[in-house]
Amino acid sequence: MRPYIVALFNQKGGISKTTTSTNLAVCLAAFGKTVLVVDLDSQGDSTKSLGIDSKIREGVFDLFINNVPVESVIRSTPYDGVWVLPSTYSLAGIEVKLSELQNSQRTLNAILANANLDCDYVVIDCPPALGILPINALAAAHAVIIPVTATPYANDGLLRTLPSIKYVQEGLNKSLLLQGVLFTIHDRNKTARRISDLIRSRLGGTVYRSQIPRDNMVIEAATAGLPVCIYAPRSAAAQAHLDFTEEFLNRHASIVAKAGETIAPHPAHDVALDRLLRWRGEIASAAGPATNAAGLRQQKSQLDRLLYGDRPLIERWHLGIIHFFIDNRLSLAMFLLLVLAGVIALLGASLEGLRRLSDIVGL
C-alpha cells in the first residue's frame, strides 16, 4: 500500500508549519506509524529539528535537479520510524532551475511515485508563498493541512491559501483533499476567540478540535534543536500535538473507510506518551551532562534573546512574570485571591481605624 501523503501549507509565514510538521511526524511514530518527512523549506528547520546536519551534501535539491535516487538522499533520525529527505542551502535557488524543466510542477509527484517508500505517511513541510515547491507538494499530496493562527493577518493568509489549493484541485491534483485547518500558537484572549469562531463558522468540521497553545516550551525546544514533543513531552504544546495527531489518524481512518479500506489501529495516547518520554531519555543520555557553566549560560542567553530581544532588564522581569502566570494559571488565581484578601483586610482595618477615630473625637 502506498503511503498517505499530507502537505502542510499556508501562504503566510510564521504560523508554525515547521513545528507542526516535525511534531506530527514524531507523534505519528509514537503512535506506531512510520513516517518520511520531506523538507521543502530552504531554511532547513525541519531537517535540523530532526537531528540532521544541515551541511550535508545531498538533499531535496539533488532529487529535483540531479535525478539522484531517493535511497541515497534519505536520512534516518534518532526516532524509530522517522526518516527525512533533508533540505540543503542550495534549495534556495531551485525555483529558477525548476522553471527550465518540462512539467516541473509534477516533479515531486514523479519522485515519490518511482521511489520504493516503505512507510505509512509522508509529511511535506512547505515553504510560505505559492511558489513552484508548494505547488509540487500539493500536486503530489493526498491531503493538505493548513496551520493558522487566530490573528487578523493570519486570517487573511488563510483566505489567500484556500483559492491556491482550489487551483491545484482543479488542475494538477483533482483528488487533493483539504483534510483540516489547525489553530497553532493559540491564545485564549477575546480577539483570538472571535477569529477562531469566525473561521470555524465558515469551515465547520474542517477545523480540527485540537488547538496548539502558545507555549514557551516550543521556543526552548527550538533553541535545543528538538521537537517540543521530545524536549518536553508533558508540556501543554506537546500534549496538544499528541491530541492533534490522534485526531489526524482518526480522520484518515474515516477517509479510507469510505473507500472500503482500513488502516491498522493505533495504540492508546498513554502508550504514545511513554514512547516520547523514552526518546527524550535517550536523547538526554546521548547528549550527556553539560560540559561547563559557560555552555549553560550561553544557552540561557540565546533563549533570552529569542524571548525578550534587547529589552531592558526591568521589562524582561515584567515579561517573565507575565509568561509565568500565563503558563501557571492556577498560581495566577491564587495570587489574585491573596491580593483580594489583602485589599479586603486593608479596607476593614481602615474602616475600623476611622470608627475608633470618630469615637475619640466624639463624632
- How far apart are the C-alpha atoms of 166 and 174, rounded to whole Å? 9
Question: What is the reported pLDDT for 321?
Answer: 75
Residues 17 and 42 in one domain: yes
Residues 234 and 320 in one domain: no
3-state secondary structure of 227: coil
Residues 307 and 281 in one domain: no
Segments of the chain scoring below 70 in pLDDT: 1, 288-311, 316, 319, 323-329, 362-363
Please state the domain count of the chain: 2
Residues recorded for the chain: 363
Residues 204 and 306 in one domain: no
Look up the domain containing 219 and give its range: 4-287
CATH number, residue 73: 3.40.50.300
Close Cβ partners of 251 (under 8 Å, ≥ 6 residues apart): 179, 180
Question: What is the reported pLDDT for 298?
Answer: 56
Q: Are strands 82-85 and 75-76 parallel, antiparallel or unpaired?
A: antiparallel
245 CB neighbour count, 10 Å cutoff: 25
Residues 257 and 300 in one domain: no
Per-residue model confidence as pLDDT tens digits over 300-328 = 565 555 555 556 777 767 767 776 666 66
The cell for 274 is 511513554
Per-residue model confidence as pLDDT tens digits over 347-356 = 888 887 777 7
